[in-house]
Structure 1
């Protein structure tokens, strides 16, 4: 998978690294969750090459993309996604977002009016556990700061990120270690967590317009130990969002990184929207 050729494009003042593959009249554009780059989709993209033109990219500050002048907000990230789609897509577009990426694609969809959305364990901003999320965000930042200090020692990062090594192909995991689990990559991850914290109130005050196309929400049934406390709340409010916008809702026998644990389910959801 990691032999996919990429190209760099100047979008909204930052050089963005983009990988494209597959054929078809439909363009499927992937938006990764916080802390993740294009490699998140390495187990999904090969399953779609016969039906769609796929686009995976690194957000500003991630992977092989350039560093933005200032930390990005969720709206900044959505604006870059809009610019990317407008620059590359020549047919109907399906947006696929994981976790924080769900916020980004929902905001971008207001401008793009895509043919469909697939939201994979998306961040449900209405969930009560986000009512006072600032302490959690600060705790997460402290953990990431500690990881950042340890990232100068590659063997330690392999231990800390070993779960990714079990879930992804070896070449994908090697790329993550070289690009995401680095001092610079973890700096961007810290900025992204802060962006989510700032976006919660904004999305509650000004929620994205309901999509005018088909939507599929895929919800993780399991959680890592540190996420388990809020699992039921997150799933309930993902379900409520699906009901609110008339989306299809389905469970995934997976923890949060569904694209790695259940790539066939993700690809099947995308195929259903392509065929629709």
Structure 2
């Protein structure tokens, strides 16, 4: 499935690698979570290829995009998303974002304006949840662990062993691309920068929340907690529910999945994208979760 050659796009003095696929007049833009790039959307892209024009990209420093000498903030990443959309996406579109990418998307919403036809968030960070009260300390611990990983990933064998769970979740050619582009020392170094960017963004999001999206918004929350985070899972889910419930047109669903919903339940993700494109993904419409 890994196929088309992408292209380099210049935004804000940085080089982003973009892949466009699919067909049709509708557009969908994908924003990956931390530590991942455009390839993490492959299972969903395969299901939407005949329904819309699909745009995936690697954030600066990841995958095939240009490296960054400095650490970019969530605001910087949101500015890159906006500039990318202005460059490659004509007209309206649906934005899909995962995990940390939800922070990037929410910061970009106000600048994207009425062109944003719908927003789909997969297991996004919810800065109001108690688990983020001490995220600055968590980020330090994660950075230490990633420092070890960064050194180990100089060995392709160790990189393959450490990423075995992703090998199970993604198609073989997608995983091969991830192994070559993301699970390398440079990719881990960029992940460490983004973890620090999230830690810096949390207090800012709490003090000055981004403008809420006014477009139809669907939030899919994973029913199965990440390893070691079971204690915080219920509270995180509830804060997501409250946030999307506060929107003028928000809809919340739990999905029988782990954190990587796009890999475990790509059919649900593709269906919700189609709902937003069709204008049927509005609050008040319900569907059975997680099938």
SS at match of 1:225: coil
Select 1:133's aligned residue among 135, 160, 185: 135
User: 4+ residue stretches of structure 1 with deviation over 6 A?
Assistant: none
Q: Indicate if the aligned counterparts of 1:118 and 1:217 stay in contact, CA closer than 8 A.
A: yes
Alignment of 1:71-150 (within 5 A): 71-113=71-113, 114-150=116-152
Q: Distance in 1 between matches of 2:225 and 2:166?
A: 15
Aligned to 1:177: 179
CA displacement at 1:111 relative to structure 2: 0.4
- Give the gaps of 5 or more residues in structure 2: 280-291
CA offsets 1:133-184 (integer angstroms, 9 cap, x no match): 1111111111111111110111111111100000000111111111111110
Question: Given that residues 134 and 197 in structure 1 are in contact (C-alpha distance below 8 angstroms), is that contact kept between their aligned partners in structure 2?
Answer: yes
Aligned pairs for 1:24-35 (under 5 A) are: 24-35=24-35
**Is the deviation greater in 166-175 or in 19-28?**
19-28
What SS does the corresponding residue of 1:44 show, helix, strand or coil?
Answer: helix
By how many angstroms is 1:229 displaced?
A: 2.6
What value does the CA root-mean-square deviation take over the aligned residues? Answer: 1.0
1:3 equivalent in structure 2 = 3
What is the match of residue 66 of structure 1?
Answer: 66
User: Is residue 25–residue 91 contact of structure 1 (8 Å, CA) maintained in 2?
Assistant: no
- What's the secondary structure of 1:9's corresponding residue? strand
- CA deviation after TM superposition for structure 1 residue 236, in Å: 0.9
Aligned residues: 276
- The alignment's TM-score, normalised by the length of structure 1, stands at 0.98
Find the aligned partners of 2:179 and 2:168 in 1 and give their Cα distance.
Answer: 13
Alignment partner, residue 258 of structure 1: 261
The two structures have a TM-score, normalised by structure 2, of 0.93
Structure 1 runs not aligned, ≥5 long: none
Residue aligning to 2:222: 220
Q: What corresponds to 2:205 in structure 1?
A: 203
